[in-house]
Every structure is written in C-alpha cells, then in structure tokens.
Amino acid sequence: MIVMKFGGTSLANGERIKNIVEIIKTRIEKKPVIVVSAIAGVTDLLLNTAKESAEGKNPNRKVEEIINIHKNIIKELDLKEEFLLNDFVKMYDIFNGIYLLKENSPRTLDIVASFGEILSSKIVAEYLNSIKIPAKQYAGWEAGLLTNNNFTNAEILPETYDKIKSYLKNFDKIPIIAGFIAKNKNGEITTLGRGGSDYTASIIGAGLNVNEIEIWTDVDGIKTADPRIVENAKQWDKITFEEVSEMAYFGAKVLHPKTIHPAMNKQIPVRVLNTYNINNKGTLITKESHEYCPVRAISLKNNIVIIKISSIKMLYAYGFLAKIFEIFNRYRVSVDLVTTSEISVSVTLDEPNGNSKNVDSVILELKEIAKTEILDKMSIICITGKDIQHNPEILERIFSLLKKNNINIELISQGASSISISIVVKQEDSNKAIKELHKEFFENE
C-alpha cells in the first residue's frame, strides 16, 4: 500500500487532473490512498474573501469567482456539477454570515479554508468514478484525523492513528482524502496550518503503515538550493529524514515542515516527485543515506524579524531567560533561532501578519524589562550537511565567502543541530549570499 499526495498545481485544471489520474493508474496494484490539496490559488481566495467580508464588502462576486474555478474544471472533465451544488450553497451561506456578523475568528477561517480541499477531493473522486475507477471521497475527519482546538494550526491527537486504521481498513474503492483539514473532539473543523496536505499524507501513511509515501508536486525532487534562485541547483537521488526536516523548517518549499515526522517515526520512505516530469525518479527520503556529503543543501527563509533583548540584570541572574520566554509563550509567538550572551538574548521570528497584535504585545512587555531592539526585513540562510557542526572548515569558508562579498552576518546559530548552521543576513543580500554559497560548496568542488 502507498499514499500519493497531489498539490494544488497538480490539480490546477482539467488537463492536470487527467494527468494525475494517469499517474494513479500506474499505481493501482499498490493499493494507493490519495491525498489532495485545494486547487492552486483557491485557499488564498477563500481567506481573502473572508477578510473582505468581515470588513463589510459583499462577498457574492468573489464567491462566484471561486465557484466558477471549480465549474470550469468540472466542464473540462465532462462531469455534471450537481455533486457540488450543496457545497456551493454552503459557501454562499458561510460568507454571507461573515458579512452580516462582521466576525472572522480563527474557527471561522478554518471552516472557510476547508472548502478548498473538500471541493478538489470531490472532483477527483467524481472523475475517477466517471471513468470506471471506483473511488470514494473523504474529508480529513472522515479518514480519522482528530486534533486539538488550536484553530488554523491544529495538532494531531495520538488517537488519530488508530482511527485511521479503523476508518480506512479493507477499502474496496480508492480513498480520495481532503488534506489539510480535520476536526476536534467537539466536532469543529480545524486545519493543520498552510501546506498541511503534505502533513496529512504523512499522518495517513503512518496510520496505515504503508510501504511508501509519494509527494507529487511541481519540482523534480529535493535540490541543493531553490532552483528559482540558483539555476545550477543539483537534484539529490536520496536524502535523510533529519536533513530534509531541517531544510523544510528553514525555508525549503518542497515539503511542509511537519511532513516528515510521522513518516520518520514509522521509518516509511517518502519520495518527492514531479507531476510535470513523471520520468524523473525524484528524491527518496529515508532514515539513512550512505552517500557522504559535508554540505547537502542551502535553504532560505525570508521575512524574518530579529528581536534583541539586552539588560545588565541578566548578568549572573537566574530566571531572567524564563521570564523572557514566558512572555512569548503567553502570546503564542514562536521563535526560530535563539542566541545568548552574558547580558543579551536575540531571537528570530517570522514577520507578523495575522499575528501582528500578539507580536506587538510581546515587544511592549519586553521593553518593560529590558532594552529591546527590532530589526526587520531579514533572512535566515540554513546550511545543512552531515555532522556539519563538527567540521570547522565549513564555518571558516562561510565567513570568508560572505566577508569577500561584503555581506554582514547579523546573527549566527550553531550547536542546536549537529547537521546545520543558520545565519541571518539582510533580506536584500540573501539571494546573492545563496548564489555565492552554492558556487562555493557545489559548483567549485
């Protein structure tokens, strides 16, 4: 048995859906379980429409636009649209409720966002049935996904895995599962965070203990750097769970950061493949890779803020760090990197969007106990490789190269992970830094 996950660009129109069905046909003997994202661009449209509705803008025109995207695909697949009419009506009702009440809570946003995956999964299932391949559509919760109450970024509860085994056992039709969405114990819709369909695929794979999880996307596999920045990026045939997990957390776009963990815990291989280039064998992610490479990849995470906290009270004091991080915890603001000295702490976090009020509150409280400086428009560059922490030559080459190119390092983190070094530079320097580092470690070797 395998899990096959298809992203939004793989479902962008009728032709693309026909293409993924041809791919599914080649895996029929492996008993595939399919997980799908929303059609490309639809989730953003849904959330933006909810925002505008809460601000008093009539949503009906935007809702019609979203519906027409799906109607056009239905027409291209020569299907009748009746199987989605109830969902279209519900969508109108939800958005007009937001418009009338001017209410747009995280709980409401999860209801709104769920339409994307529900509609796309129903279309794929309907098309498979129309060509005599028996299929059944499942919302995430109908496949067993149960979460906590953290709307918009929910965490899976441990009993999920037993539920998946129970709900999907002995299926005689191909399951087409809406990724990204689940429910909590109160029966309320929750979502797993943006990009959570990858995570769904890994959870389903772990629950069913499948032989392999295939992540079908619009790139050939995992590369040494983002090919949109580095033209000569090299594709890896194989990479480890640990390496790709670090890369994903620090900006690599191929996989959602949470994706690897359920598969890693069950040691289920994950293969990243390209629906636009099915002859490419992609990249296999496993527990171990016998190929030694001191530097495996260079990842980039933009839109970073540094918060520098300084106080003489920190010197020889206990409890001061705990006080700082209790503030972050209280406002549910997570940090990426942390560095400390005798009298200062620096942390990085993503530039606030929907969470800006919480970040502002954190900064106000920090200013009450210490001198607090904010540096925005920063980027984290993460250099990943086996035992990189124990290779002083790597760090020396990084420093020398950036100095030569007049790129200043605002912050460095080494030691939290044995397989990565993270540096923070100004965002305006990030692309140049990535290109030069790639030349140094991959093109000049």
What percentage of the chain's residues is helix, strand, coil (to nearest 5)?
45, 20, 35
Amino acid (1-letter code) at residue 410: E
Count the alpha carbons within 13 Å of 183 in the hemisphere toward its beta carbon: 12
- Residue 350's Cβ-count burial label (10 Å; 0-12, 13-18, 19+) is middle
Residue 354's pLDDT is: 54
Going by CATH, does the domain composed of 2-217 fall within 3.30.1600.10? no
Confidence category of residue 291, pLDDT binned at 50, 70, 90: low
The CATH class, in words, for 297-443 is alpha beta
> Hey, CA dihedral for 363, 364, 370, 373, is it positive or negative?
positive
Q: Please tell me the predicted confidence (pLDDT) of residue 445.
A: 61
Spell out the residues 6+ positions from residue 424 whose beta carbon is closer than 8 angstroms to its own: 304, 306, 337, 348, 378, 379, 380, 381, 409, 410, 411, 412
Give whichever of 66-75, 318-327, 390-399 has the largest mean pLDDT.
66-75
Q: What is the pLDDT of residue 322?
A: 86
Domain ranges of the chain: 2-217, 297-443
- pLDDT tens digit sequence for 345-358: 899 988 765 567 78
Whole-number pLDDT of residue 250 = 65
436/47 Cα distance (integer angstroms): 38
pTM above 0.75, yes or no: yes
Looking at the predicted structure, is the pLDDT value of residue 265 above 70? Answer: yes
C-alpha distance from residue 280 to each of 32, 72, 153, 215, 252 (Å): 20, 30, 33, 13, 20
Whether 180 and 202 have beta carbons less than 8 Å apart is answered as no
Coil, strand, or helix at residue 238? strand
The 10 Å CB-count burial string (b at 16+, else e) for 182-191 is bbbeeebbbb
User: 129 or 193, which is more confident?
Assistant: 129
